[in-house]
Amino acid sequence: MSLSPEGFTGEIVALAKLQAKPGCEEKLIEHCVAINKIANSDDEPGCLTYRVVQSGSHVVVFEKYKDQVALKQHLETQAFKDFATAAGDILVEKPAVTFYEELF
């Protein structure tokens, strides 16, 4: 587990844990849906999977990227930028994101 994918040479798995502020759960899911629409399209071929699970106000996003270039492209999408801009208003705290390098 790492707080940064720096130095990873293979496929990258990112695990993001989010908690919505009370009453903001729907808005958080709307952002996840918008990101998912791009991540799982031909617009983002380096994103191998983007999955979202929810329990109450808690959301976990499981993401897998071909490499660091693909992860960087994901972070530069308009949908992700829109989420990043709104995050302070809809999340209890900053997302807890950890990175893993896939071994096999």
Residues 6+ apart with CB under 8 A from 94: 87
Question: What is the reported pLDDT for 29?
Answer: 98
Q: Delineate the domains of the chain, giving CATH numbers in brackets.
A: 12-101 (3.30.70.100)
pLDDT at 22 > cutoff 80: yes
Paired with 86 in beta bridges are none
3-class secondary structure, 46: coil
Residue 44 CA, distance from chain mean position: 13
Q: What are the tens digits of pLDDT across the range 71-100?
A: 999 999 999 999 999 999 999 999 999 999
Question: What is the reported pLDDT for 18?
Answer: 98
